[in-house]
A and B are shown apart, each in its own frame.
Chain A
Amino acid sequence: MGKTRDKYASTGKTKVKMTKTPLAVKSFGRLRIKLLTIEDEYRKEEVTVRKNYIHDVDGIAANNLSGVYLTPAYSNGLVAEDALTGIRISYEKFGGGYRHCKLTTPFVAASANAMKLKNRHTWKAWVSSKSFRQPPVALTIDAPMAWESKTFDEDDAESEVHFMIYGFAGVGNRKFARQEWALAELPNDLELEHQITWVHDPDSILERLENRALYPDDYAAAVLFAEVKPFRGEQRTRLLAALSGYIDENRFVEDEDSLITLCSAIRKYAMNMQESQFEGYADWLLPTETATLHHEAEMEFAKGICWRLEFEPHSWPAQYPHLTKTLFDLVDSYLTPRLILQKSYANTAMFGIVALHILEAASGSRVELVSKLREKTIGSGVKWFAEMVNDNLDEAVHYISERDDAIGKKIMEIRQG
């Protein structure tokens, strides 16, 4: 354990002990507390520190923590990304030296706050004791290194890193009106990790995408980073398998945050999928008896297959009857003036129609579904929509003809009936 000394006692307002835990920082990486469990009791305005433990992941001990107050001091990053359970406190710029935090645990979701102490390289994060309806079993801090980069530079490469964990009793951040006690001091088993580069490395991203036990936020991050990286050969196969599982499990999500990640996964999957996966892709467009896709996800699925056919090469003649039928049903259901003006339905229908033109052209035979949709489009009386479809078909023909003039001509034939 590190040395302990009084740090803030001189303020006369709070009496806190500061634990000094030397840790050589070799470079800018992340520091991770694997899992922290504090076996202490909090009673009203009084904190009784009984015992402090730092456990490995497998050594979780239940506790009675009702509130916590953390100070990562002189850190240049503290992340417990792989914690299986626990609290995550993340910070966002809030202006004026304050930062807003969002806190989540597997058990509760609550707000949290952080503040940089004046003239100190110390950040405090706190959550209301009311936030914890159940005791957390782990506590982690996610501290963006960007904050600290202003404080630390290469000259600080060997700086000592100090961490303090305080318990508190009371509500909110009435820091001068309450007492704080040092609960734990972090020994030298803090791990220095060099994980930052994974976001730029397809293999490292894949490792995370294949780890379904990853904390959901971390998994979502891996999906997002994957979208803008190239995956080749075996990497692409692994990527598709991982994204497929993710889409399968999440295609009915409805909250905005999850939808962004889902749509990212859909785009990446669609643009990389093999032709043998087209038919399976269609299944994701189907509702179940109890759930249907959010309209944004539905648009993304339609856009995904449309862009895949338009911008990535594919062989022909080839028939995809299930995909064709599914897209037809989707478009057919939205081609009414009542629906076409709502939500993303116009875009969804438009992408579906363009995709169906390409599919029919690539099938080598006429299936007449497209002509039915064309008649319905014209019959709907929504002129601007028919024009939008035509203009996007022009664009599709332009890009496809650059790769394969014959298919481009075929699409034009189908379009002209």
Chain B
Amino acid sequence: MPAQRTSDTKPVSVRPGHILAKSDGVSDLMVHAMLFDGEKDRADVTSKTQLKIAHMGPPLGNATKSCDAVGGMELTDEQKLRIKNFITQCKDATKKRDKEYRLRGLEATSKELYVILPSAKPPSGDFAYWRFSCVGFVLKAYEQIPIYLLKGPIPERTLADLKSFYPFFSADLDKADTREHLGIGTGDRWPVELVGYVLHSFARNEADVIAGPYAPQLGDEYFPRQFVSGGAPPKRLFGKQ
């Protein structure tokens, strides 16, 4: 199954392990990536269907969400099992920790395990977790089977761009320490992996997906691809096209 948008009326099929995406709600800009974590195939998925998903919310874990786009490929039972195993490995204590923060009248910091660049960061003594962006989480899941979905050069983005791609972090991105924590502390342009890129990777024919990763282009953050959105000026691509 290639990548496709969901609609209110025409149902599409989704299988365990497929990637689901949420848009920003006003355009085709895709801002959140998830994995379908249901037990069975679904053939009735519209943009309103609530599905069991696994994602780096944050926090990392399971939830029930609807989706605006889906992408995936034929997965064998073994591949589904390996993705499931990966999800099992990723259990963490963020939800419980967030609850404790709230009990103390503190802002929940489920974002502490979120990282934008790189999209997946190995554990260390300081952070005894893999840290992910939402995209990093699904890319890492597919590396398990092993399918590599993206390759460089990744278009570089400005801080203003990132605020639209990561609306949940919009305010945080103005803080130097938070940006440092997210991996974009220095510089003014960053090659971040975005949700739309993953969908465009799956939009290729399946043999190409298996054969190798996809090099995203400017505008791939939208699905379908576009270069101008809502009257905003076209985004520039930094680096080689």
Contact = CB atoms under 8 A, between A and B. Distances in A.
Interface string B203-239: 0000000000000000000000000000000000000
A144 B128 contact: no
Contact of B89 (A236, A310, A347): A347
Contacts of B143: 391
A179 to B, nearest CB: 32
Q: How many interface residues does chain A have, given as a range?
A: 35 or more
Interface in A252-270: 257, 260-261, 263-264, 267-268, 270
Contact of A311 (B104, B105, B113, B124): B124
Given A28-B105, A144-B103, A230 B125 contact: yes
A91 B50 CA distance: 28
Q: How many interface residues does chain B have, given as a range?
A: 20 to 34
Given A228-B112, A391-B144, A271 B93 contact: no
A144 B96 contact: no
Nearest to B76: A384
A77 B78 CA distance: 51
B124 A391 contact: no
A149 B106 CA distance: 10
B106 A261 contact: no
Interface stretch (A10-18, A116-124, A219-227): A219-227
Given A311-B124, A347-B89, A388-B82, A228 B113 contact: yes
A307 B93 contact: no
Interface string B89-116: 1011100110111111110000011000
A384 B78 contact: yes
Interface in B114-145: 122-129, 143-144
A227 B93 CA distance: 9
A310 B103 CA distance: 36
A263 B91 contact: yes
A261 B88 contact: no
Contacts of A146: 102, 105-106
B153 interface: no
B129 A267 contact: yes
B119 to A, nearest CB: 15
B81 interface: yes
A221 B97 CA distance: 7
A296 B91 contact: yes
B100 A271 contact: no
A384 B82 contact: yes
A229 B129 CA distance: 12
Contacts of A311: 122-124
A30 B124 CA distance: 33
A270 B128 contact: yes
Contact of B104 (A199, A350, A388): A199
B7 interface: no
A260 B105 contact: no
Contacts of B78: 383-384, 387
Contacts of B104: 30, 79, 144-145, 195-196, 199
Task: Name A's interface SS.
Answer: helix
A144 B79 CA distance: 44
Given A224-B100, A268-B128, A263 B105 contact: no
Contact of A90 (B82, B103, B112, B128): B103
A270 B144 CA distance: 24
A383 to B, nearest CB: 7
Given A224-B97, A388-B144, A272 B105 contact: no
Interface in B147-185: none
Contacts of A195: 104
B125 A271 contact: yes
A30 B217 CA distance: 52
Given A77-B105, A384-B78, A227 B122 contact: no
Contacts of A199: 100-101, 104, 106
Contacts of A230: 125-126
B64 interface: no
B146 A391 contact: yes
Contacts of B92: 264
A128 to B, nearest CB: 23
A261 B96 contact: yes
Contacts of B82: 384, 387-388
Contacts of A263: 91, 93
Contacts of A312: 124-125
Given A148-B105, A267-B128, A312-B125, 7 more contacts: A145-B106, A196-B104, A221-B100, A228-B113, A228-B127, A344-B88, A391-B144
Top 8 nearest A-B pairs (CB, nearest first) are A145-B105, A384-B78, A267-B128, A230-B126, A264-B93, A271-B128, A221-B100, A224-B97
Interface of A: 28, 30, 76-77, 79, 90, 92, 142, 144-146, 148-149, 195-196, 199, 221, 224-225, 227-231, 236, 257, 260-261, 263-264, 267-268, 270-272, 296, 299, 303-304, 307, 310-312, 341, 344, 346-347, 350, 383-384, 387-388, 391, 399
18 contacts: A199-B100, A199-B101, A221-B103, A225-B97, A227-B97, A228-B112, A257-B96, A260-B93, A263-B91, A267-B129, A271-B128, A307-B123, A383-B78, A384-B79, A387-B78, A387-B82, A388-B85, A388-B144
